[in-house]
Amino acid sequence: MERENDGTREMVFSSLLVLFYFLPFVLALYFVAPKGFRNGILFFFSLIFYAWGEPVYVILMLFSILLNFTAGYVVEKYKRQEEIKKAQIVLVISVVVNLLLLGIFKYSDFVVENLNHLTGLSVPLPRLELPIGISFYTFQAMSYAIDVYRGEAERQTNVIAFGAYVTLFPQLIAGPIVRYQTVAEELTGRRENLDDFSQGIGRFMVGLGKKVLLANSIGMVWEQICAMGIDTLPALTAWIGIFAFTFQIYFDFAGYSDMAIGLGKMFGFHFLENFEYPYLSKSITEFWRRWHISLGTWFREYVYIPLGGNRKGMRRQIFNLAVVWALTGIWHGASWNFLLWGCYFGVILIAEKLFLLKWLRRWPRFLQHFYAMFLVVIGWVLFALTDLGQVGGYLAAMFGLNGAGLANEASLYLLTSNLVLLIILALASTDWPKRMALSLMLRLKNRMSVSIALQNVFLAAVFLLSVAYLVNSSYNPFLYFRF
Partner 1 sequence: MKKKEAIITIAVFLVLLFGLTIWNLLTPDREFSYNENKYLDQMPSFSWEKLLSGEWQEDFESYITDQFIGRDTWVGMNVASERAIGKKDVNGVIFGKDHYMIQMHTPQDVDGELVEKNLERLRLFVEKSKVMVGEEHTSVMLVPTASEVLAEKLPSFASGMLYDQKALLERAREQAGAEAWIDAEELLGQHKEEYIFYRTDHHWTMTGAFYAYQEWMSRKGYGSVKLEDYEQVTLSEDFLGTTYSKAPDGSAKADTMLLFEKDPEREYTVYLEGADQGRQGLYDPAKLQEKDKYASYLYGNNGLVEIRGGEENGRTLLIIKDSYAHCFATLAAQDFEKVYLIDPRYFLQDVWEFARTHQVTDTLFLFNTMNFAQESYLYILDEA
Question: Which residues are marked as active site?
Answer: 332
SS3 173: coil
- Closer residue to partner 1 in complex, CB, 122/472: 472
* Residue with smaller CB distance to partner 1, 266 or 330: 266
Q: What is the dihedral of CA 386, 389, 394, 395, to 10 degrees?
A: 110
**Dihedral sign for Cα atoms in the order 404, 409, 412, 417:** negative
The residue from 97, 343, 350, 465 that contacts partner 1 (CB under 8 A) is 465
Q: Measuring CA to CA, which residue among 138, 354, 302, 251 is closest to residue 346?
A: 354
Choices 133-141, 292-300, 375-383, 456-464 (CB under 8 A): range interacting with partner 1:
456-464
Please select the residue that binds partner 1; options are 30, 37, 52, 277, rule is CB under 8 A: 52
Under the binding rule (CB under 8 A), the answer on residue 8 touching partner 1 is yes
φ/ψ region of 89 (left if φ > 0, alpha if ψ in -120 to 50, else beta) reads alpha
Instruction: Answer yes or no whether residue 198 interacts with partner 1 by CB under 8 A.
Output: yes
The yes or no reply on residue 442 touching partner 1 (CB under 8 A) is: no
Report, in Å, the least distance between residue 311 CB and partner 1.
45
Q: Which of 420, 442, 445, 446 binds partner 1 (CB under 8 A)?
A: 420
Whose Cβ is closer to partner 1: residue 305's or residue 453's?
453
Q: Measured at the alpha carbon of residue 129, what is the angle toward residues 135 and 26, in degrees to the nearest 5?
A: 65
Residue 405 near partner 1 by CB under 8 A: no
Nearest Cα residue to 200 out of 469, 457, 459, 17? 459
Judged by CB under 8 A, does residue 446 bind partner 1? Answer: no
Q: Is 411 in the site for partner 1 (CB under 8 A)?
A: yes
Query: Residue 481 and residue 119: Cα distance in Å, rounded?
Result: 32
Q: Are 160 and 43 spatial neighbours (Cβ–Cβ below 8 Å)?
A: yes
Instruction: List the one residue out of 391, 122, 89, 431 whose CA is nearest residue 231.
Output: 391
In the complex, least distance from residue 166 CB atom to partner 1, rounded to whole angstroms? 22
Is residue 220 within 8 Å of 241, Cβ to Cβ?
A: no
- 194 binds partner 1, rule: CB under 8 A: yes
For partner 1, give the closer residue by CB, 38 or 265.
Answer: 265
Contact with partner 1 (CB under 8 A): which of 33, 388, 406, 464? 464
When the beta carbons of 381 and 414 are compared against partner 1, the nearer one is 414
If one asks whether residue 454 binds partner 1 (CB under 8 A), the answer comes out as no
Residue 251 near residue 218 (C-beta atoms within 8 A): yes
Give least dist CB 63 to partner 1, A. Answer: 18
Kindly state the greatest CA–CA separation across the chain: 76
Count of C-beta atoms within a 10 Å radius of residue 246: 24
Full DSSP string of 206-233: HHHHIIIIIIHHHHHHHHHHHHT-GGG-
- When the beta carbons of 171 and 411 are compared against partner 1, the nearer one is 411
Contact between 35 and partner 1 by CB under 8 A: the answer reads: no
Please give the residue ranges that form the binding site for partner 1 (CB under 8 A).
Answer: 8-9, 11, 15-17, 19-21, 23-24, 27, 52-56, 194-195, 197-199, 201-202, 205, 217, 227-228, 408-414, 416-421, 424, 448, 452, 455-456, 459-460, 463-465, 467-473
